Amino acid sequence: MFVLITYDVNTETAAGRKRLRHVAKQCVNYGQRVQNSVFECVIDPAKFRLVKASLEKIIDAKYDSLRFYYLGNNYKEKVEHIGVKPSYDAEAPIVL
């Protein structure tokens, strides 16, 4: 399934900046960063539950927020990209 993860972490304190780094590091493990606090993830439901639980443990719900957009399996018809950064195929093989 295709999930868009977005977050807003309050960085006014050192603890907030640390949470921001941890949230970003977790998201990088599961998806592709498409904007500063936006990740596109093609993951199965079990992995999604893992990443969601780990992110919930990191943030402070009094100051930070997480949003998950479930775009399903037919996401290619639901995503349109305009602008400088080229779009990518989330399911294409990664060449290193």
Sequence-ordered strand ranges (E) for 9-91: 32-35, 38-42, 65-72
Q: Is the pLDDT of residue 75 over 80?
A: no
- Is the pLDDT at 2 greater than 60, yes or no? yes
Each residue of 7-64: pLDDT tens digit?
A: 999 999 999 999 999 999 999 999 999 899 999 999 999 999 999 999 999 999 999 9
Rounded to the nearest angstrom, the gap between the alpha carbon of residue 6 and the centroid of all alpha carbons in its chain is: 5
Distances in Å between the alpha carbon of 73 and those of 1, 15, 79? 5, 37, 12
Q: How far apart are CA 33 and CA 51, in angstroms?
A: 15
Say whether pTM exceeds 0.85: no
pLDDT of residue 71: 83
Q: Is residue 94 scored above 90 in pLDDT? A: no
List CB contacts of 58: < 8 A, sequence separation 6 or more.
19, 22, 23, 26
Return the biggest CA–CA distance within the chain.
41
18: amino acid identity, one letter: K
- pLDDT recorded at residue 30: 92
| Rounded Cα distance, 18 and 81, in Å | 31
